[in-house]
Structure 1
C-alpha cells in the first residue's frame, strides 16, 4: 500500500514502510507547496536578498557573496565537495529511509528546490534504483545526502537489480535527464536532518521488534530456570508508574500463565536473581525509551530542518538562516535508544549464562548432550559476552563527541547521524545475542529434568524453532544455527502476545535423539540457494 505525503507530514512508521519497499507518493497539494517555496527562492535571487547558501558561500564562507551567474556552480560544487563519505555503503532499507525522509522535508514547502528535483528522487525510489551511500564520514548529515543527490546530476553510483551503475547510466535507463542544479538546491539537498531521521525510523522499527522477541525469549529462559511468577504480579508492578513495565508484565503473565514447569517451581526461592525478576522493569524501561524516541522522531518529521528556511510571499519573501539543521534532540534520542537496547541485551546474556551454568540451572553443564566430549553452548556464551562488550562500546553517547569544523564557524557538533548508525549496530548485535539465548532456551527444554508441561506460548515458540532446527549435539557448526536464529529475530516477530496462541498438539516431554545434521550457514550474495536456505526463508514469514 502506497505511503501518501499530503498536508500532513509522514510519521516514523511511514518511513519504515517506505524503507521496506512501499511506494511513496506526493499529493498535488504537497507539490504545490514545493513550487511555492521555489518561487520564493527565485524572488530572493532576483531581488538580491542576502541568503545563506543561495547567494553566499557555505560554512565559514558564509560572508562571501556569490553572483547570480555563479549560483548554479555553487549548488553543483556543494554536492561534489560534500560527497566525502567513506566505508561500506548503507543497505537498501537505510538508503530508502533517508530518501523518504528527505522528500518529506521538501514537501513542507520551505526548502526551495524544484518539483523536478523531488520527482527525480521519487523516480529512483519507485524503481528501487538506489544511490550508493558510504556509511561513514559525517559528523551531522552532509555527506550521506550528498551521495544520494549526486545521482540526480548524473554523478555517483547506484545499485540496481544487483548491478553497479554510474549515476548517468542509471538516469538513462530510467529515461531521465541529469539535472542542472539552480540556486539553493545544492544546499537544500545536503542539509537538514533527513539522514538521521530516516535511520532513526528504521532503528525504532527494529528495536520494537527486538523488544517483542526479548519478552518471548526471556519467558523461555525464565521457565527453564524455574522462576517465581510473583515477579510479574500485576498488583506488585503497579506500584511503579511505567507504561512499559505494565505492558511487559502483562505480556509475561500471558506467556507463562499455564506453565507446569513454573507450577513445579513455585516457592522454591524467595527471590530470583535480578536478570530474571527485573525482566518487566528493564524491558519496560526500554519500551518507555522507545516511546519517547518515537515522539522525537515524529516531531523531527513534522519540522522544517533546512538552513536557510524560506517563507513569506513572492512580494515579501523571508529567509531564516539559523540552526534548524542541527539535530540535537534526535541525537540524544538515538543515544538513549542504543543504551536501552544494550541494557536489554546485556541482561539476556546474563540469563544465557545461567542456562549454561550447572551450578545455578539444574541443567547439564553448558547444555551439552554427553558432557566431556561435547561443549554444547559453552563458547556460544563467549560470543554473546563479546557482543555485549561491543554494545557497551557502541552505546557510548555520540552526542557528546563534540568537535570543531569549518574554520571555527561550526564549533559545536551533535553527531546525530553517527548516533543513529551506532543505535542500528547495537540493535543488530542485540538481535544476535537474543538469538543465542533463544537457541539455548530451546536446548534447555530438551534437557529439562523436570517432567512438566511448558506454557502454551513457550511451547508454540519452541515448536517454531524445532521445525527448522533440531536439538544441538555438537554435530554441526553452531554458528549456522545462530545465523538462523538471528534471521528469525531480525526478519519477523515472535508469536503475538497477549492473545490467542497457536495450538501445537500434545507435548513431547522426551529429549530428542541426537542425529548428525548438515551445517546451516548464511549464504553469500549471488550464491545458489540450498535446502537450508528454505528453512531460513520459512522462519517468521
Structure 2
C-alpha cells in the first residue's frame, strides 16, 4: 500500500515501509507547498536578497556573491563537487530510506526546489531505479544525497533490474529527461538531514524486530538452563518504573507459561546468573531507548532541516540561514540506540556461553554429540564473542568524533549519518549473535535430560527452527545453519506471543510527575495490574494451545 506524504510529515515507520518497498506518493497539499516554496526562491533571486547557496557560494565561500547567470552552474557544480563518497554502495533499503526522507523534507515547503525535482526523485524511487550511493565519506549528510541527486541530472549511476546503468540511460528507460537545476536546487538536494533520518528509520525497524527475537530466544535459553521463573514475577518487576521492563517481563512470562521443564526445577536455586534473571532489565532498557529514539526521529522528520530555509510570502520572502541542518539530536540518539543493542547482544553471548559450557549448563559439552570427535557449538561461541567485541568498538560515540572542515567555517561536526551507519552495523552483528543463540537453544532442547514438556510457545519456536535446520551433528558447515538463522531473524518477525502485553504509557507519565516518595504507591498499583495481566496472558496461552 502506498505511503502518502500529505499535510503531515512521514513518521519513522512510514519511512521504513518505503525502504521495504512500498511506493511513495505526494498529496495535492504537499505538492502545493513545494510549488509555493519555489515561488519564494524566485522572488529572492529577482529581488537580489542575499541568501546562502542561492546567490552566494557555499561553505567557506559563503561570502562570495554569485550572479543570476551563474546560479544554474552553481547548483550543478554543488552536486559534482559534493559527490565524493567512497566504499561499497548502500543497499536497496538504505537508499530507498534516504530518498523517502529527502522527499519528506522537501514537502515541508521550505526548501525551494521545483516540483519537477521532487517528482523525479519519486519516479526513480517507485520504479526501483536506485542511485548508486557509496556508503562512506560524509561527516554529516552531503555526499550521499549528492550521489542520489546526480541521477536526476543524468549523471552518476543506478542499479535497475539487476544492471548498473549511467544516470542518463536510466532516465531514458523511464521516459524521463535530465533536469537542469535552478537557483538553490543543488544546495537543497544535498542539504538537511534526510541521510541520517532515512537510515535511522531503518535502524529502528531492524532494532525493533531484533528486540522481539531477543526476548523469545532468551526465553528458550532460560528454559534450557532451568532458570527460576520468580525472576519475572510481576509484583517484583513493578517496583522498578520502566515501560520496557514491564513489557519484557510480561513477554517472558507469556513465552514460558506452562513449561514443564521450569516447573520441575522450581526452588532449586536462590538466584540465577545475571544473564538470565536480568533479561527484563537489559532488554527493557533497550526498548526504552528505542522508544526515546523514535520520538527524536519523528521530531526530526517533522522539522525543516535545510540551510537556508525559505519562508514568508512572495511579497515579503524571508531567508533563514542558520544551523538546522546539523543533526546533533539524532546523532546522539543513534549512538544511544547502538549502545543499547550492543548490550543486548553482549548478554545474548553470555547466555550462549552458558549453554555450551558443561560446568554450568547440565547439558553435553558444547552441545555436541558424545565422544571426542565432535565440537558442536564450541567455535560458534567464538564467533559470537568476536561480534560482541566488534560491537564494543563500533559503539564508541560517533557524535563525539568532531573535526574541522571547509576552512574553519564548519568547525564542529556531529557525524550524524556515520552514527546511523554504525548503528545499522551493530544491529546486524547483534542479529547474528542472537541467531547463534537461537540455534544453540534449539540444540539444547534436543539434548535435554529433563523429561518434561517445553512451554507451548518455546516448543513452537523450536519446531520453527527445526523446520529450517536439523539437529547439528558436525555433519555440515555450521556457518550455513548460522546464515539461515540470521535470515530468519533479519527478515521475519518471531511467532506472535499469545495475548502479548502492551506498554502502559499512562503509568510512565504518572511516574514522571511524582516524587520519589510516591513511586512505591505507583509500583504497588502497577504490581496489581501486571499480576492480573500476567494471569490473563497465561490463561490466553493455555487457551491458544
Alignment deviations for residues 103-122 of structure 1 (CA, whole Å, 9 cap, x no partner): 00000000000000000001
Checking the alignment, whether the CA contact within 8 Å between 1:338 and 1:422 is kept in structure 2 is yes
Checking the alignment, whether the CA contact within 8 Å between 1:463 and 1:504 is kept in structure 2 is no
Equivalent residue number for residue 140 of structure 2: 140
SS in 1 for 2:340: helix
Equivalent residue number for residue 46 of structure 2: 46
Alignment deviations for residues 414-449 of structure 1 (CA, whole Å, 9 cap, x no partner): 000000000000000000000000000000000001
CA distance in 2, matches of 1:484, 1:307: 45
1:296 aligns with 2:296: yes
1:79 aligns with 2:79: yes
C-alpha displacement of 1:126 = 1.1
1:358 aligns with 2:377: no
SS in 2 for 1:124: helix
Checking the alignment, whether the CA contact within 8 Å between 1:40 and 1:112 is kept in structure 2 is yes
CA distance in 2, matches of 1:127, 1:49: 39
Checking the alignment, whether the CA contact within 8 Å between 1:364 and 1:447 is kept in structure 2 is yes
SS in 1 for 2:311: strand
Equivalent residue number for residue 151 of structure 1: 151
SS in 1 for 2:177: coil
Which structure ranks higher in relative contact order (CA pairs < 8 Å, sequence separation ≥ 6)? 2
Written as runs of structure 1 = structure 2, the 5 A alignment for 1:423-462 is 423-462=423-462
Alignment deviations for residues 100-141 of structure 1 (CA, whole Å, 9 cap, x no partner): 000000000000000000000010011000000000000000
1:92 aligns with 2:113: no
C-alpha displacement of 1:498 = 3.9
C-alpha displacement of 1:262 = 0.5
C-alpha displacement of 1:503 = 10
Q: TM-score, with normalisation over the residues of structure 1?
A: 0.92
Checking the alignment, whether the CA contact within 8 Å between 1:374 and 1:474 is kept in structure 2 is yes
Are residues 503 and 92 of structure 1, via their aligned partners in 2, closer, same or farther at CA, if it must alter by over 3 Å? farther
Checking the alignment, whether the CA contact within 8 Å between 1:365 and 1:371 is kept in structure 2 is no
**Ranges in structure 1 where 5+ consecutive residues have no aligned partner:** 506-541
Written as runs of structure 1 = structure 2, the 5 A alignment for 1:306-317 is 306-317=306-317
Written as runs of structure 1 = structure 2, the 5 A alignment for 1:267-278 is 267-278=267-278
CA distance in 1, matches of 2:408, 2:99: 30
Written as runs of structure 1 = structure 2, the 5 A alignment for 1:131-530 is 131-499=131-499
SS in 2 for 1:25: strand
Equivalent residue number for residue 63 of structure 1: 63
- Structure with more helix by fraction: 2
**Ranges in structure 2 where 5+ consecutive residues have no aligned partner:** 500-539
Equivalent residue number for residue 125 of structure 1: 125
CA distance in 2, matches of 1:2, 1:146: 26
Alignment deviations for residues 489-514 of structure 1 (CA, whole Å, 9 cap, x no partner): 00001111243669999xxxxxxxxx
**What RMSD in Å do the two structures reach over aligned CA positions?**
1.1
Checking the alignment, whether the CA contact within 8 Å between 1:228 and 1:267 is kept in structure 2 is yes
Checking the alignment, whether the CA contact within 8 Å between 1:2 and 1:24 is kept in structure 2 is yes
C-alpha displacement of 1:182 = 0.4
Checking the alignment, whether the CA contact within 8 Å between 1:251 and 1:498 is kept in structure 2 is no
CA distance in 2, matches of 1:497, 1:204: 21
SS in 2 for 1:265: coil
Q: TM-score, with normalisation over the residues of structure 2?
A: 0.92
C-alpha displacement of 1:268 = 1.0
CA distance in 2, matches of 1:240, 1:504: 31
Alignment deviations for residues 273-297 of structure 1 (CA, whole Å, 9 cap, x no partner): 0000000000000000000000001
CA distance in 2, matches of 1:225, 1:503: 27
CA distance in 1, matches of 2:238, 2:468: 39
Instruction: State the number of aligned residues.
Output: 505
CA distance in 2, matches of 1:199, 1:357: 38
Checking the alignment, whether the CA contact within 8 Å between 2:2 and 2:22 is kept in structure 1 is yes
SS in 1 for 2:310: strand
